[in-house]
Homo-oligomer: A and B are copies of this chain.
Amino acid sequence: MDELIKRIRKFRDDRDWMKFHSPKNLAISVSLEAAELLEHFQWKDDEESAVHVQTKLDAIEDEVADVAIYLLELSDNLGIDLFKAICKKLDKNESRYPVSRARGNAAKYTDL
């Protein structure tokens, strides 16, 4: 991840774009890119999604990357170590959803 973060910082600073990249603006951009990702599945049922995913994988890959790039930059700017944050959240999720109670249960999952 460090390598990616260095490239993202350099890309931004070479263009003098830090002035646009407030936490709020980056959070908006994470959200907008997430919407572009979701748009790939608009109106589609599971079967249609599966076909779409095969024919448009390159475009979906770009949207996934866009979300990740803004998320990495936002984390970096806020001093969040994304790797550690994910580990900590997985720890929390594991204790909040014990296997014995959560197994196969969508209802529990809803408030993840």
Contact = CB atoms under 8 A, between A and B. Distances in A.
30 contacts: A4-B86, A4-B87, A8-B90, A11-B90, A14-B99, A15-B104, A15-B109, A17-B109, A19-B104, A20-B106, A20-B109, A23-B49, A23-B53, A24-B46, A24-B49, A25-B43, A28-B28, A28-B41, A28-B42, A29-B43, A31-B38, A34-B34, A34-B67, A43-B106, A53-B78, A61-B80, A65-B88, A65-B89, A67-B71, A68-B86
A3 to B, nearest CB: 9
Contacts of A25: 42-43
A89 B28 CA distance: 19
User: Within the oligomer, what is the number of copies of this chain?
Assistant: 4
